[in-house]
Structure 1
C-alpha cells in the first residue's frame, strides 16, 4: 500500500540513465533516445564508466559522484553485477526513486540471479529508495512527455492506465494501440518487483485524475494478497479495473498449490477479483477489445442493448453471445417499431434484433441507428455490417459515425470482413467510435462494462442485519481447536467437529460413536429406525479428501440400515475393509446416525478451505457422497454479509434447483445465507481452522441439517479482506442523560440508520461538517460511507436503542482516513444536534486517537471552519495544535501520535 516517492517515477523533474551509450544494442541508449524523442522537459543526464563526454547529445558522467545534481529518477540499464553498487550509491546520495531495466536479476534457478536480487533489496533498504523492476520495460506517461522505456514506439495520450507483469505483452499492447490510434494515461510493466508492487501502483493510479480506468496484466500476486485486494477494491470504487490473468508456467521457478477442495486456481482468482469489484478478461484479444471500449465508450446508461444488422445471421451470433453472457436485449417501444417499419421492408418482424435486410443502404443504417438511440428502452446500440453492393462498408461507416457523434448513448460498431472493412474500422477509430471485427467481440466488450456496473451495484448493496452474539460459545470453539493442536492433532475428531457446528448454532443429527461392531449394534438398537454407519480412519477425518475421480469416500459408508442384522453385516464389511487398508492406530472407530434423508431433501456441499495466496475461502455447491462435488464449486472470499451470501447461493446450481422445486424459495435461500454467515464468522474467529467441509448438508421443508462434517487445523492464516473489528466495540454511558449506548466501528448494515442520522442534522451542522450546504446523500454515497475497508479507513459511531419504537439510531460519527503510507490520518466528526453536551465528541475523538496511535499512524489531522468554535474547543481540550490556514481559510488541527523513525517519514511530515 506504500506510495512514498512514487510521484518521482511518474512526474520526475530530472532523470539520470545509467549504462547509456550510442551502441545500437545499448538498452540505456534506447531509453535515452526515447526520453529525448518524447520531449521530456526536465533535465537529462547519462552515466557511463567508459568515459563518454556525451551520449546522443546528452552530457555523460563517469559515476554518481560526478553528477552535477542528484536526479528525481535514476534509470539503471547497467550490467547486472554493477546494479547493487549503483543502488547503494544512489541511496547514499538521497536519490529516492530508481527503475531497473537490467535483465538477469529475476529469481531464476541459478543462485547468482537470486543473490543479485537480494543484494539490490539490501542495498536499497537502509535509504528508503523505491525500486521499480528489475526486468521491467520501463514506464510511459504521455501527459508528462515521459517515455522512460525501451518500447519501439511511443504512445498517445489517453485515459486508460496499463500495468503489466510481462514486458513483451506490454510492447505488443503498445504496438496494437498505436495501430488503433488509442492512447494511455500511464503505461508500465513491473517485472519481478523487488520493491514497488502492484498494490502500490494501483493506489497511485486510483488518485490520478487523468486515469479513468486501469488495465492489469498479471500472472500471479507477489507479496500480500490482502494489500492487492484492498487496493483493487479502493480503485474500483471510482474507476473500472480490468484484469487479464494468465496461469503460471510450471518451469521450476514457480509452482501452483491448490486449496483443498478446489480443482482450478482460476476459480479462486475469479472469486477474488469479483469480490474486489474488478472485471476479468480471459484472453489477450479481450484485453485489446476492452481497451477499445474503455477508450471510446461514453458513460453507461444501462444494460439494455439493441442489435442492428443487414442480415439475421450476424444478429443471431450477437444475440446468442449476449444471452450466454446473461445480457439484456432491449424491448423497443411501439413508437420506435412504427418509425422503423416506415423505413424497413414489410418482412421485418418488429423485434430486436433489427434486420435491415441485405438491401439496406448506408442511409437506412444511419436512420435505424438514430431511431434506436432515441428509444427510452434502449441503453446502447450495436450496429453490425456485412459488406454488400447496396451498402459499402466505408460509406455506411461514415453515415453511422454522424449519428453516433450526436447521441449521448453508446453506439458500438462491427464491420465484418477484411478487404473492405479495414478502412471502415479506420474511419471509426479516427472518429473515436468503438469498433470490432466480429459481433461476438463487440458483445463481449459491452458485457465487460455491464459486469463492472453489476459488480459495483453488488458491492454497494445494503446488507440485511445479522449479528452473532454467542461470544461464550465462540470462546469455547477457540479453546477446542487449541486443545486439539496441543495434543498433536491437525484435525478434529468427528465428535469435536459436530460440537464445533453446534457452538455456531448449525444443526447436526443425533450421533453416536463406537469402537467396535458390538458397540455399533448397541447404538443402532437404542436409536431405532433406519441408521447410517461410517467407518473413521486417517484419510477421511480430513475435509475434501476425495479419490482420483473427485468423489467422496462413499465406500466408508453404509446407508439405510433398517434391521440389526443389516447393521451387523454392513459394519462387519466396513471393519474388514478398514482393517485391510489401515493399522489399528489409523482406525478411529465408527459413527452411527439416524438416517436423515428426508422427503424431497437436497444435498449440498458447503465449507471453508484455505488458499496459499488468498487465505480462507468459502465454498458452496451441490453435494452428496457419490457425485462429483467439484462440478458445482462456487467460491467467495470471507467475511460475508447477507447480500454476499445471497450472491454465492445464486451462482450455484443449488439455487436453480430450489427455484424450480421449493414452495418457499426465499425461506430456503435465507436459511442457506444464515449458515454461510455463521461459517464466515467461524473463519474470522478461528484463524487456526484450515478447512471445514459439511457434506452432505440437507435442505428440506424442515430446514437445514449438517449430516457429516470434517475439520482440519493449521497455523493461523490471515483473511484477504479485513473482517469487522468487533474487538473495538464497547459500552458507554452518555454524560448528561446517562443513557446506555454502544461505541463501535461502522458496518454496511448501518446504512438506513445513517440516512436517518444525516436527515436529523440541522443545515448548520451539515455546513460545518461538509463546508457547504448539500442535499440528501445517495445510496452510492451511503454505501461508501458505511461499507468501508478497515485496512484503509475507520469510522466509529455511537448507536443506541431508539427511545420510541424498535431498532437502533446513530447519535454521532467520526471518520479517519489514513494515507497509504500510514503517515497521516485525516478525521472528520459530526454529532446529532440534540445530542450536544452528552460528551459524544470527546468519546469519538478519543477512540479515534487511541485507534490511530495503536496502528502506528504518525499524525492525526483535521480542519474546520473558523466559525466552528465548538470543534476548536474540543480539539484544544484533547491536545491538538491549532493554527489558521490563510490559503484555505480554515482552522488546521494537528496531533502527533507517534514519532517518525525514518528519513522519508520526516520528509512526508514536512510536506
Structure 2
C-alpha cells in the first residue's frame, strides 16, 4: 500500500518534498530516498502517511509527535474497535494526545486534492479538478465514486474518506470545506454519527447556508450490535436522520445511484432560477414518465405563456395540446429539438428544461446532442439531458459530459436529480424564513416544574398521572377535569359527581410510561373503558378493568384508576404529540395521528428542538393530519396556530427540563373549542443535551443607558429580530458601515439578514441592545456585537457596531464586556478583532478593555487581541502561534 500511495503522489505531479521510511533497509522507493526510521529523516515532514502493520502504528505516532510532526494520515486497517486488535485504536489515541498530532483515519483511503496536485491515497485512478468535495466513511465506496466520476469526466475539489475517525471527524472536515472558496458543494457518505451530534448538526447547518450539502446515509451495523437502539415512539432510525439532516439544511439521497446523479447535477448545473420545469421529448411515453415522476416528487410543471405557445406551434405536430410537456413527435430533427429548447429558454415561466431523446432514424442521438449542446451553452437556464437507450446513446452522453451538460440515462433519474436541487432551495428558504414573534403569555412556573421533576426523579423514573397533568397545566396546555380513585367504589363516586358520560383508565407499571405500545399497538385500549353513561356501566366496566390488570400485574404494580368526563366532541381530530429522546441526536419533538385504536406509528413526524413558529408549521404541514384539518376546519389558521403554540410549549419543556426523557399526549383533541390533552405520560432520565443549541435566555439582562438613562435589554439576537435589524442597518451612516465592513455596501438581502439573526448559538453569538421605540409600538436595535468562534474553541473573532445617534451611551463597553465574559466562560482561549487604522474610537475602546492593539502592515488593519484562558495542550499553543 505504501508503494501505491507514493506512486500516486508522483504521478499526480505533487510538487512538495517526498520522503520514505521503511525498516527493511531500502535505499529508495519509487525513486524517492528512503531511510529506516523517523529519526533518520533529514527533516521532519508536515504530513506523515502511515501504511505500516497495525501493531506498529502507535509507536510511529509517538515518534512523530516527539519530533513535532503535526499531522498524520493512517491508511492501515485492523485498528477498529470491532476487530480483535481493537485496543490498538485506543493506543493510537493515547500516543497522539501528549503531542497534539492530528490524525486522519485509521482505515481511510487517503486524501486527494487536485488543486494541489496531491493524490495521497491508494486509489487506482487519479481525479481531475472540480467544484464538489466528497467526504465518505467507506473507502471502497469512495474508490467506486472515483472510478464513476472519471468515466463521466467529473472532477472534485477534495476527495477523502475518514475511515474509523480516531481524531479528525466529519464535523471538522465539513467546517474546513465550508470555508474553502474552491468548494461549491459537499457530498457526504456516512453510516453513523461518531462523536457529538451537536457538532455534526452545527457543522452541516453552517456549511449548508452557503453550499449545497448532500448526504447518502446507509445503515451499517457492527458485528457486536445486532440491532439499533431506537428512540421510544420511533419505529425507524432513518426518520431521525431525515429530521436531523432536514433541520440542518442538507438534502438526503437514498441510493448510491442518486449520489452519482447528484454529483452529475452539482458539477454541471448553473445557478437555480426557480422550480418550474419544462419537459420536451420526441414522444409522449418518456414525457409521461418524467411528468409523473415530477408530480410524485411535488415538483412544479411550467405553464407556458401564450407567446411561447404561438412560437412553438409551427414546429410541433398539429396534435400538440399547447401544454407542457412538449411532444415533438417522432419526426423531430436535431435542429427542431434545438429550436424548441431555445424558445422554451426564453419563456419567463420556465426555470429549467429537461430534454429527453429516444433514438430514431430522423434524429440520431449524437447529432441531436450536438445541436442541444449549442443551445444549452448560450442560455442562463439549466438544460438537463436524457439520452434513452445504450447502443447509440452512449456517445451522445459522452458529448454532453465533455461539454459539461448534465446528462442521465432515464427520465426518472433526470427528474430526481433536478428535484434534489429544488429540495435544497426549499430547505434553504425554510431555514431562512423569518420566524413570527412568539412570546408565551403567563409564562409557566418553570422553577416549580423543575422542582417537581427533580423530586420525582429522586424516587422513580416517571411521573404519576396527576403529576404529568400538573406539568401540562404549568405550561398552559389544557387538560380535562380528572379524578383519581384507588378502587371501584371510588371510581363510582367520581363518576356520580362528574355526571354525564365518563371514561375510566386503569393505571399500572407499564402505561405510566410514554409510548408503551406492544407489538400490535393495542396495549393501551385494553386498559380503557369509554362512553360510560350510567353508574351500572361504570361499575361493570371498572370491575372488568380491575380483573384484567389483576391477571397481568402484582398489586404493587397497579396504581388505581383515572376518571375523566368524555370530551370526544363533534368532528374532533385525535392527534399524538410528544417528546422523545434519541441515543444519538437527543430530544426530539413528535407529531402525528393519535388515538388508542390505531397504529400510532403510521404517521409519526419528527423535528429537532428548539422550535419557532415557522418550524412548528413545517412539522404540522408534513403530517397527514394537515390535509384532514384543511378539509374539515372552520378556522384553519386558528387551529394550526393553536397546534403550533402547543408544539412550541413542548419545545420550551425540552429546554427548561433536561431530565425530561419522554412525554406523550395521546390523544390530543382538536375541535371547534380548541385543543385538549386528554391523556398524557412522562418518563425521566439523566439530563440530555440538545443537538441544536437553544436560545440562551439566561444571558438576558436589563441595562440602563449611560447618558439618557433609557431602559433597555441586553440579550442574544433572535430570528424574530430580522425586521428590527434591517431598520438598524438602514439607520447607520455610510461612514459607520464602511468602518464595520471595511467597504461601502448596499442594503442587506433577506438571506443575509437571516444569516445574521438566525445564528447557531453553539459556535456563533451575537448580542444586541434592544429598547422600546420612543415613538410607536415595538422595539428597536441600538447596537450589536458578534463573535464567531472556530470549531476548536481556540479563537473567537468579534465585530461591533453601534447606531450613530447612540454614541456616548456606553453601548460599546456594555456589548464588548458581555462578549468578553461570554467567551471566557465557554473556554475560548483568545478574542480577536481588526479595525481600520482611521477608526480611533474602536482602538481606544479596545485599549480601555485590555486588548493588545497593534498595526498589521501586511493587511493594513489594526489588530486587537485579548487572551481569555490559558492553553492546556501543545496543539492549542501551536494554533495560537500561527
| Conserved 8 A contact 2:106-2:164 | yes
- Alpha-carbon shift at residue 253 of structure 1 (Å): 4.8
1:613 and 2:584 correspond = yes
Correspondences of 1:381-530 after superposition (within 5 Å): 381-468=353-440, 473-487=445-459, 489-530=460-501
Correspondences of 1:442-841 after superposition (within 5 Å): 442-468=414-440, 473-487=445-459, 489-551=460-522, 553-841=524-812
Other structure's SS at 1:338 match: helix
- Alpha-carbon shift at residue 869 of structure 1 (Å): 2.1
| Conserved 8 A contact 1:691-1:713 | yes
1:105 and 2:79 correspond = yes
Other structure's SS at 2:331 match: coil
- Alpha-carbon shift at residue 466 of structure 1 (Å): 1.2
Q: Which moved more, 1:899-908 or 1:773-782?
A: 899-908
* Cα gap change, 1:853 to 1:470, in 2 (>3 Å): farther
Distance 2:315 2:854 in 1: 71
- Alpha-carbon shift at residue 472 of structure 1 (Å): 6.1
Pick aligned residue for 2:46 from 51, 72, 88: 72
| Conserved 8 A contact 1:274-1:455 | yes
Taking structure 1 as the reference length, the TM-score comes to: 0.96
| Conserved 8 A contact 2:98-2:874 | no
Q: Counterpart in 1 of 2:311?
A: 339
CA deviation vs aligned residue, 1:4-56 (integer Å, no higher than 9, x gap): xxxxxxxxxxxxxxxxxxxxxxx111111111111110111111110000111
- Alpha-carbon shift at residue 858 of structure 1 (Å): 1.4
1:355 and 2:333 correspond = no
| Conserved 8 A contact 1:532-1:594 | yes
| Conserved 8 A contact 2:110-2:160 | yes
| Conserved 8 A contact 1:248-1:255 | no
Distance 2:824 2:190 in 1: 36
Pick aligned residue for 1:328 from 300, 316, 322: 300
| Conserved 8 A contact 2:444-2:475 | no
Other structure's SS at 2:739 match: helix
| Conserved 8 A contact 2:135-2:186 | yes
Distance 2:522 2:414 in 1: 40
1:278 and 2:250 correspond = yes
Q: Counterpart in 1 of 2:171?
A: 199
1:289 and 2:261 correspond = yes
1:299 and 2:271 correspond = yes
| Conserved 8 A contact 1:533-1:592 | yes
Distance 1:398 1:854 in 2: 63
Correspondences of 1:44-443 after superposition (within 5 Å): 44-110=18-84, 113-249=85-221, 251-253=223-225, 255-443=227-415
CA deviation vs aligned residue, 1:371-414 (integer Å, no higher than 9, x gap): 11111110000000011111111111111011001111000000
| Conserved 8 A contact 2:46-2:70 | yes
Distance 2:863 2:224 in 1: 56
Distance 1:540 1:463 in 2: 37
CA deviation vs aligned residue, 1:153-177 (integer Å, no higher than 9, x gap): 1111111000000011001001101
Other structure's SS at 1:44 match: coil
- Alpha-carbon shift at residue 552 of structure 1 (Å): 5.4
Other structure's SS at 1:342 match: helix
Other structure's SS at 1:607 match: strand
- Alpha-carbon shift at residue 470 of structure 1 (Å): 5.4
CA deviation vs aligned residue, 1:160-210 (integer Å, no higher than 9, x gap): 000000011001001101111111110011111111110001011111111
Pick aligned residue for 1:873 from 831, 844, 849: 844
Other structure's SS at 1:463 match: coil
Other structure's SS at 2:19 match: strand
Other structure's SS at 2:86 match: helix
Gaps of 5+ in 1: 1-26
- Alpha-carbon shift at residue 865 of structure 1 (Å): 1.9
Distance 2:700 2:81 in 1: 45
CA deviation vs aligned residue, 1:421-441 (integer Å, no higher than 9, x gap): 111101101111000000000
Gaps of 5+ in 2: none
- Alpha-carbon shift at residue 735 of structure 1 (Å): 1.1
Q: Counterpart in 2 of 1:32?
A: 6
* Cα gap change, 1:472 to 1:599, in 2 (>3 Å): closer
| Conserved 8 A contact 2:703-2:714 | yes
Q: Counterpart in 2 of 1:8?
A: none
Distance 1:430 1:886 in 2: 46
- Alpha-carbon shift at residue 828 of structure 1 (Å): 1.0
CA deviation vs aligned residue, 1:634-667 (integer Å, no higher than 9, x gap): 0000000000000000000111001111121111
| Conserved 8 A contact 1:813-1:831 | yes
Q: CA RMSD in A?
A: 1.0
* Cα gap change, 1:42 to 1:254, in 2 (>3 Å): farther
Q: Which moved more, 1:517-526 or 1:472-481?
A: 472-481
| Conserved 8 A contact 1:133-1:192 | yes
- Alpha-carbon shift at residue 868 of structure 1 (Å): 1.9
Pick aligned residue for 1:853 from 802, 824, 836: 824
Q: Which moved more, 1:225-234 or 1:859-868?
A: 859-868
| Conserved 8 A contact 2:871-2:877 | yes
Distance 2:10 2:746 in 1: 50
Distance 1:735 1:193 in 2: 52
| Conserved 8 A contact 2:443-2:475 | no
| Conserved 8 A contact 1:108-1:253 | no
CA deviation vs aligned residue, 1:58-100 (integer Å, no higher than 9, x gap): 1010000100011111111111111110010001100011111
Q: Counterpart in 2 of 1:16?
A: none
* Cα gap change, 1:470 to 1:132, in 2 (>3 Å): farther
- Alpha-carbon shift at residue 738 of structure 1 (Å): 1.4
Distance 2:40 2:842 in 1: 54
Taking structure 2 as the reference length, the TM-score comes to: 0.99
Other structure's SS at 2:634 match: coil
Other structure's SS at 1:352 match: coil
- Alpha-carbon shift at residue 874 of structure 1 (Å): 1.4
* Cα gap change, 1:150 to 1:253, in 2 (>3 Å): farther
| Conserved 8 A contact 1:107-1:253 | no
